[in-house]
Amino acid sequence: MNPLERCPCGAPAEYSACCGRYLDADLRPDTAEALMRSRYVAYVRGRSDYLLRTWHPSTRPAMLNLESEPPRWLGLQVRRVQSGGAGDRHGIVEFVARYKVGGRAHRLHETSRFVREEGRWFYVDAVV
């Protein structure tokens, strides 16, 4: 991906100034929404290392096997953000991600829970 291209998370920013700074420059998202958006981009780019690193240890799988035929991610829409700011300890982000697998379109509607520990946000779990 060209770092000057628009970020796949849907924010009106270039990848390098948006989620790229978390995936490629090792900076930490300061909100639950920023973490959720960067995790979406990690799925788009097949970055299981980032996904595991940002998953809370209490719920993180031992390994993450991204499919051999990965979906083609089409877009992300954030529907609701509850808490999850720089001064919060917990946050909830509801979103819809659109994708295609085998030529068929799908939607993932998820409400994700996040926790901030020692200044760092982690994905905990979700209701799909």
- Distance between CA atoms of residues 46 and 57, nearest Å: 20
Among 27, 43, 36, which residue's Cα sits nearest to residue 94? 36
- Tell whether the model's pLDDT for residue 67 goes beyond 90: no
- Tell whether the model's pLDDT for residue 30 goes beyond 70: yes
Q: How confident is the model at residue 66 (pLDDT cuts 50, 70, 90)?
A: confident
- Tell whether the model's pLDDT for residue 3 goes beyond 90: no
| Structural domains of the chain, ranges and CATH numbers in brackets | 15-127 (3.10.450.50)
Whether 112 contacts 95, CB under 8 Å: yes
Averaged pLDDT, 52-78: 91
pLDDT at 92: 98
Q: How confident is the model at residue 106 (pLDDT cuts 50, 70, 90)?
A: very high
- Tell whether the model's pLDDT for residue 40 goes beyond 90: yes
Beta bridge partners of 104: 101
Q: How confident is the model at residue 21 (pLDDT cuts 50, 70, 90)?
A: very high
Q: What percent of the chain has pLDDT over 90?
A: 86
